[in-house]
Chains A and B, each alone.
Chain A
Amino acid sequence: MSGILLLEQALNGLQLGLMLFLLAAGLTLVFGIMDMVNLAHGSLYMVGAYLIATVSAAADSFWVGLGVGVLATAVLGMLLEVTVLRRLYSRDHVTQVLGTFAILLMCNEGVRMVWGSQPISLNPPAALAGPVELLPGFYYPAFRLLIIGVGLATALVLYLLVTRTRMGMQVRAGASNRDMALAMGTNVQRLFTAVFGLGAALCALAGGMLGPLLAVQVGMGESILILAFVVIVIGGIGSIRGALVGALLVGLVDSGGRTLLPMLFEALFSPQVAADAAPAVASILIYVLMATVLAFKPRGLFPAHG
C-alpha cells in the first residue's frame, strides 16, 4: 500500500466527487426551492454531452464545443422549465416522478433519433491527452487534473454567487422557506427559470468533462443520476454546501472502494471470489454510507430547511 497509490486514489476520488457536485448542485436547488423531484436531470447531462461532442467535432476545438454546448443546454433547460416543468411544481411528488420520467424517455429517444444509438466520441484537447509528472515516477492524466481544476473553480463561483449576489440571497431564502420568500416579494417565476437554467448549465459542464473519459451514449444520465440523488440526500436537500461535502464523500468512498476493496479481498480470498464479491461490496458502499449518515442526521448533513 504505497503513498503513491493513496495519492492516486485521493485524486480520483476528488475528480469524481467534483463532477458529482456539478450534477448535485443543480438537483438540490431544484428540489430545495421548487420542491420538485426531477428525474430528467440526467437527461440534461446527456444532451449537454452530445451537444458538446457535436460542436467540438464540427469546430475541431474542445473549448469552443464546451462553451457553446453549455450555453445551448442552459437555454434548452430554461425552455423546458417554462413550457412543461412549471406545471408540475404544485403537484405531489408521485406525479412529478411520472412527468419527469416521461421527459426522460422522450429525451433518450430524441437523442437516439438525432444521433443514432451508437455512442459518439468526445476527444479531450490534444494538449491534455497525455500524462503529467506530478511526483518523480508518478504520472497522472492531465485531463483529470483539468477536471479537478474546473470543478474547484465552479465550486468557488457558485459559492460567490450564492453568498455575494442578490439572486443568491433569493435562492437561499427560497430554499430555506419558500412561502416567506414569496411573501417578501421575490419574483418567483423568473427565479425558478434562472435556477433551472443554471442547473442545466452545470449538468452540461459535467457532461463535457466526463464525456472524454467515459462514453457519450444514450442513457448515460441514468447511472449518474442515482449517484446524484444519493449525494443530495447525504448532503441535505437545498444546500449547496451539503452537495459539495456529500459529493466529495461519495466520490472518495466510491473510488477508494473500487480500488482498495479488490486488493483487500484478493489478499484474504481467491481471485475468483474477489472478482465476484468485491465489485458488489464496492457498489453497495455508497448506499451504506447514505444509510449511516441518515441514521445520525435524518435530514442530511446540512439541511437547508428550518
Chain B
Amino acid sequence: MSLAHLASLRLVAAAALAACSVAAVAQSTEPVRVGLLSTLSGPGAGLGVDIRDGFQLAVKLNDGKLGGRAAEVIVADDQANPDVGRQTADRLVKRDKVDFMTGVVFSNVMLAVGAPTFQSKTFYISANAGPSQYAGEQCNPYFFSASYQNDNMHEAVGKTVTDKGFKRVALIAPNYPAGKDALTGFKRFYKGEVASETYTALNQLDYSAELSKLRATKPDAVYIFLPGGLGINFIKQFVGAGLSKDITLFGPGFSGDEDVIKAVGDPMLGMFNTSQWGHDMDNAANKKFVAAFEKAYGRLPTLYAAQGYDAARLIDAAVRDSKGKLDDKAAVKKALEAAKFDSVRGAFKFNTNHFPIQDYYLRVITKDTKGRITNRTLGAVFKNHADAYVGNCKMPAL
C-alpha cells in the first residue's frame, strides 16, 4: 500500500469517525419527543389532567430532561373517543415522529391507539389503561404498563368484601373493556352472591335507573367502578336518594380518590377502596413527589398523577440506560424491562408481559391531622401480586 493511499485511507477513516460522532452528537442533542395523549375534556378530564400534571412535574424536577437529553412533551386530547384517539395517535407517530407515547386513560381508547403505535415501532408506556388483552393474548413488546393491569384493584376489593363478610353484592361498571375487566377481577376473588350485575354507558351521568334497580334488589353492599366524573355523579345521586343508609359502598381506588373526594365531600367518609399507591406512603421518592405536586398545583395528587409521574421516571431511566440511542429498539426495550428507577410506590418490577408485579393496599377515607378529608392507607391486601393473564402471553419478538 502506497503512502498516499494510506494517507487517504486515514483521511477517510477520520472523516467517517467525525461523521459518526457528529451524528451521535446530533442524535443525543435532539430532544426526546413524548406524545402525551390523554382525556382532557368531558367527564374523564380530571384523570387526564392529573396524568399530564404528574408527568410534566417529573420532567420539570429533572430540569426539563429525560435521560440527560432535553424533553419535548406534546400534549393532545383524545376526548375519551377511540376514533379521535386513533387519529391523533396516528398524527403523533407519523407527523411528529415521537419516540414514546403515553397518557391514555380509558381502555377502549387504548385498544384503538395501540395498533398504529405498535405498527410504527413506537414504545407505549401506559400511565393508566391496562387492558387484559395486552396482558394476555395480544401482548406486545412495545407496550409497558407503568400503572397496573385493569383487574388488579378490583381483585383486591373482591377479597376485602369477602373478608368483611358481605353476602349479597350488586355490581355496577361502565360497558367498555376496563369495566368488564373490573367486574371479572372482582368476581375472581369475591366468594359471596352477586345480587345484580349492571353495565352503564361510558358517558352516562344520570343514574336514576340504576338506583331504582338497587332499591328493588336490596343488596347489602354495592361495588362500583365509575372513574372520575361518573363516580362523582353516582355517589352524589346515591346519597341523595337515601340509599347510603342501608347499602355499603365499595369501590376501587379510582372511585375513591382525591378528585371524587373533593367533589363529593363528607358523604364519602368511611368508604373503603384499594390502590397500589397512597399519598401517605413512606418512601423518599413519594415524599418528594407529593410535596412537589402540592406546591406546584395546590392540590393533593391522585393515583393518576402518581402513575404519570412514574411513567416519566421510567422513560427517563430507559433513555439513560440505553445511552440515548433511541433507534436501537432492542436496547430501549431491555432498559425499560429493567425499570431501574425509584418509583413512588417503593420497589417496582415488571412481569414477563410488561405489567408490574406490585403490592395492593386497602385505603379508607377519613379526616387527616390537618382536618382534610382524604385517604389513609391501611394494610396490604396483596403482596407481589401478578395479573391473571400473564400465562396467556407469548411475547412476540420486536
Chain A residue at smallest Cβ distance from B204: A279
Classify the interface of chain B: helix, strand, loop or mixed.
helix
Binary contact readout A165-190 vs B (1 if CB under 8 angstroms, 0 otherwise): 00000000000000000000000000
Contacts of A271 in B (CB 8 A): 197
In the complex, are the beta carbons of A276 and B175 less than 8 A apart?
Answer: yes
The interface residues of chain A lying within 8 Å CB-to-CB of B212 are 5, 8-9, 12, 259
- A143: chain B residues at CB < 8 Å are 240
- B237-258 near A? 1/0 per residue, CB < 8 Å: 1011111000000000000000
Which of A214, A215, A258 is in CB contact (< 8 Å) with B209?
Answer: A258
B267-281 vs A, Cβ < 8 Å mask (1 yes, 0 no): 000000000000000
B264 to chain A, nearest CB (A): 10
Residues of B contacting A141 in the complex (Cβ-Cβ under 8 angstroms): 237, 240-242
Interface size class on chain B is 20 to 34
Residue A73 lies at the interface, judged by CB distance under 8 Å to chain B: no
Distance A117 CA – B197 CA, assembled complex (angstroms):
33
Tell whether B201 is near chain A: CB-to-CB under 8 Å: yes
Complex Cα spacing A213 to B40, Å: 21
Whether B209 and A2, one on each chain, are in contact in the complex, defined by CB atoms closer than 8 angstroms, is no
Query: In the complex, A121→B201 CA distance in Å?
Result: 21
A267 to chain B, nearest CB (A): 12
Give, as a whole number of angstroms, the nearest-CB distance from A171 to chain B: 32
B45 touches A214 (CB 8 A): no
What residues of chain B lie closer than 8 Å to A258, measured between beta carbons?
A: 208-209
Q: Which A residues, 126 to 171, have Cβ-Cβ distances below 8 Å to chain B?
A: 129-131, 133, 139-143
Q: Indicate if the CB atoms of B213 and A263 lie closer than 8 Å.
A: yes
| A118 and B209 contact, CB distance less than 8 A | no
Contact in complex: A259, B215 (CB < 8 Å): no
Is B43 an interface residue, CB under 8 A from the partner? yes
Q: Which of B125-161 contact A (CB under 8 A)?
A: none
A152 to B209, CA, bound (A): 23
Query: Does A58 belong to the interface (CB within 8 Å)?
Result: no
**A69 within 8 A of partner (CB):** no
B49 in complex: contacting residue of A112, A118, A129, CB < 8 Å: A118
Q: Is A217 an interface residue (CB 8 A)?
A: yes
| CA A9 to CA B237, docked complex, whole Å | 15
Instruction: Contacts A117-B41, A259-B212, A263-B213 given; indicate if A213 touches B205 (C-beta within 8 A).
Output: yes
A214 to B204: give the CA distance in the assembly, Å.
9
Q: Quick check: A130 and B198 within 8 Å, CB to CB?
A: no
* A119 touching B213 in the complex, CB below 8 Å, given contacts A214-B206, A275-B175, A279-B201: no
Which residues in A have their C-beta under 8 angstroms from that of B77?
117
Q: A117-B45, A214-B233, A275-B198 are in contact. Are A130 and B242 (CB under 8 A)?
A: yes
Q: Is A4 an interface residue (CB 8 A)?
A: yes
* With A119-B229, A139-B242: A262-B205 Cβ-Cβ less than 8 Å: no
**Cβ of A100 < 8 Å from any Cβ of B?**
no
Q: Which residues of A are found within 8 Å of B201, using beta-carbon distances?
A: 279
Residue in B closest to A4 when the chains form the complex, CB atoms: B215
Residue of B nearest to A213 (CB): B206
Q: Are B43 and A215 interface neighbours, CB within 8 A?
A: yes
Q: Does A218 contact B (CB under 8 A)?
A: yes
Q: Is B199 in contact with chain A by the CB < 8 A criterion?
A: yes
A130–B239 touching, CB < 8 Å:
yes
A255 on the B face (CB < 8 A)? yes
In the complex, which of the residues B41, B197, B232, B240 contacts A129, with contact meaning CB atoms closer than 8 Å?
B240
Interface positions of A from 79 to 124, Cβ below 8 Å from B: 112, 117-119, 121
Query: Closest Cβ of chain A: how far from B174's Cβ, in Å?
Result: 10
Which residues of the partner chain A approach B240 to less than 8 Å between Cβ atoms? 129-131, 141-143
Min distance, Cβ B219 to any Cβ of chain A, angstroms = 15
Tell yes or no: B192 within 8 A of A by CB. no
Asked whether A215 lies within 8 Å of B242 as measured between CB atoms, the reply is: no
Contact with A along B211-242 (1 / 0, CB 8 A): 01101100000000000010011001101111
Complexed CA–CA distance, A5 and B218 (Å): 13
List the A side residues contacting B40 at CB < 8 Å.
Answer: 117-118
Q: In the complex, A139 Cα to B208 Cα: how many Å?
A: 13
Interchain CA distance A218-B42 in the complex, whole Å:
7
Residue ID in chain B nearest A129 by CB atoms = B240
- Complex Cα–Cα for A133 and B237 (A): 15
Residues of B within 8 Å of A279, CB to CB, are: 175, 201
**Do residues A131 and B242 form an inter-chain contact, with CB atoms below 8 A?**
yes
- Contact check, B41 vs A140: say whether CB atoms are below 8 A apart: no
Whether A140 lies near B241 (C-beta < 8 A) is yes
Residues of A within 8 A of B205 (CB): 213-215
Q: Which 9 pairs, one residue from A and one from B, show the smallest C-beta to C-beta distance? A: A139-B242, A131-B242, A117-B41, A275-B199, A259-B209, A141-B240, A118-B45, A214-B205, A258-B209
Residues of A whose CB lies within 8 Å of any CB of B are: 2, 4-5, 8-9, 12, 112, 117-119, 121, 129-131, 133, 139-143, 212-215, 217-219, 255, 258-259, 262-263, 271, 275-276, 279
Q: Could you show 9 A-B contacts with beta carbons less than 8 Å apart?
A: A9-B212, A12-B209, A129-B236, A131-B241, A141-B237, A213-B206, A258-B208, A275-B199, A279-B175
Given contacts A213-B205, A262-B198, 20 further A-B contacts (CB under 8 A): A8-B208, A117-B41, A117-B77, A118-B40, A118-B46, A119-B45, A121-B232, A129-B239, A131-B242, A141-B237, A213-B206, A215-B229, A217-B45, A219-B42, A255-B209, A262-B213, A263-B213, A275-B197, A275-B199, A279-B201
